[in-house]
Chain A
Amino acid sequence: MFLLPIVALIIGFLLVYRLNLDVPANYADYLSIAILAGLDSIAGGIRARLEDNFDEYVFTTGFFVNMILAALLAYLGDRMGVNIYLAVIVALGVRIFQNLGRIRGQLTARLLHRRFVENARQEQL
């Protein structure tokens, strides 16, 4: 079940790599920020799924819009001469770490304490 996203990742990677798609050199830095925002969205999506909060529309739109916004912010910062990309990186990094932490919490709760969960539910009913 978790294989599909990973396989999709690999397929996307190989496809674009072989097709030799490129981005103009001066936009490469904005692409890195966009990728960071994408990673944050994915981490948030996985966390939401594990917490039963997942809404695929929120997830998909959030993914693309966050990426565009992050790149736009970085670009704006470059035009203004202010290093806004630093704030973007810090904010996204913090969110990624928070999401990863919650994912870790969910996984340990489910996989390692499954027996505890089942027993607790049985007691409640």
Chain B
Amino acid sequence: METPEGKDLKPKMDFREKLARSSALHIDRARLHWLFSLGVVCLVMGGLLAIQVRSRTPEGQTLANRFRQVESGPLSAFGQIYTASQKRVDDQEATIAKLRKDNEELTKALASDKDAVKPLAKQLTDFKVALGLTAAKGPGIILEIKDSTMKLGDNPESSLPEMQNMFLIHDTDLLQITNELWAAGAEAISLNGQRIVGGTAIRCVGPATRVNDVVITAPYRFLALGDAASLANSLDIQGGVLDRLRPLQFPIKLEQKDNLIVPPNSIAKVFRLAKPVEASAEKPAASQ
């Protein structure tokens, strides 16, 4: 540690001068400009620190704001386009529902008047149910499945990404269930409010699923109209879909109901390229 005795190496000074110099609290007027240069330097330093601090925390960005960042910025444009389109789709679905209602009333009025139209009207109703254009009611089952609880780390291996797949519901599971239900004689099936008809595709979209071009997520809720007992049995058979999922601790809820309402499809499939063929002229084998 340096002591003031070191100053003896400099030319001898008056005691009072030495005392004056050695006091840290005494302002040395003769060389005040050292303070000035230090001041300038500190000014510059403060400025640089300000720049540094600003670059580390952009203006107005707190932790709460960071999560709302998407509202402003390039992503917001897509968000706005998406919500606008979604709103248009909702409006159009409402129009379609209203038009269908008017249609039904007109058909009913027509059918009740003329006896010749009655069988055609019945056929039309059956087709509508098959195509999912109207809601249908009757006995059936409700099946609700969710992703397995095991992925939350019961099993030390279950944290690997490849193993994770085993504990998720895939589109293949949903397709298998649908298949079983059709095979067991279901007459109307809906999945999370989407009616499953001839042209319905169930596809994986990342963590969610797309049915009828509508994105749905777990929990997956099937409503199936038909003979409740046989539908339930077909799902519960050994080696069947639910039998495969149950040991992996997928939460499964299956109940039979007497009165079930299956919703209609909001947008009907449009047949542009398929044209009807006259049924009388062709044999089934020739129409490949």
Contact = CB atoms under 8 A, between A and B. Distances in A.
A42 to B, nearest CB: 6
A59 B31 CA distance: 14
Contact of B41 (A16, A51, A60, A122): A60
Nearest to A122: B15
Interface in B231-264: none
Interface string A60-71: 100110000000
Interface stretch (B16-24, B112-120, B179-187): B16-24
A125 B55 CA distance: 58
A8 B42 contact: yes
Nearest to B21: A52
Contacts of B43: 8-9, 11-12
A31 B55 contact: yes
Nearest to B15: A125
B51 A21 contact: yes
Interface string B37-76: 1111111111111111111100100000000000000000
Contacts of A120: 4-5
B24 A14 contact: no
Q: How large is the interface on B (under 10, 10 to 19, 20 to 34, 35 or more residues)?
A: 35 or more
Given A35-B45, A56-B34, A109-B3, A121 B51 contact: no
A17 B37 contact: no
Nearest to A108: B1
Interface of A is mostly: helix
Contacts of A117: 4, 22
B1 A56 contact: no
A46 B102 CA distance: 90
A90 interface: no
A80 interface: no
A11 B225 CA distance: 77
B101 interface: no
Contacts of B15: 121-122, 125
Contacts of A108: 1
Nearest to B14: A125
B46 A10 contact: yes
Given A1-B27, A31-B51, A35-B52, A106 B2 contact: yes
Interface residues of A, number: 56
A50 B5 contact: no
Contacts of B48: 16, 31, 34-35, 38
A36 to B, nearest CB: 10
Contacts of A91: none
B175 interface: no
A45 B41 contact: yes
Interface in B120-171: none
B25 interface: yes
Given A105-B1, A110-B22, A16 B50 contact: yes
Q: Which of A10, A118, A122 has its CB near the most chain B CB atoms (within 10 A)?
A: A118
A22 B38 contact: no
Contacts of B59: 20
A109 B49 contact: no
Interface of A: 1, 4-6, 8-17, 20-23, 25, 28, 31-32, 34-35, 38-39, 41-42, 45-46, 49-52, 54, 56, 59-60, 63-64, 102, 105-111, 114, 117-118, 120-122, 124-125
9 contacts: A5-B42, A9-B43, A12-B47, A12-B50, A13-B53, A45-B38, A56-B33, A59-B41, A117-B4
3 A-B pairs with least C-beta separation: A12-B46, A16-B50, A13-B46
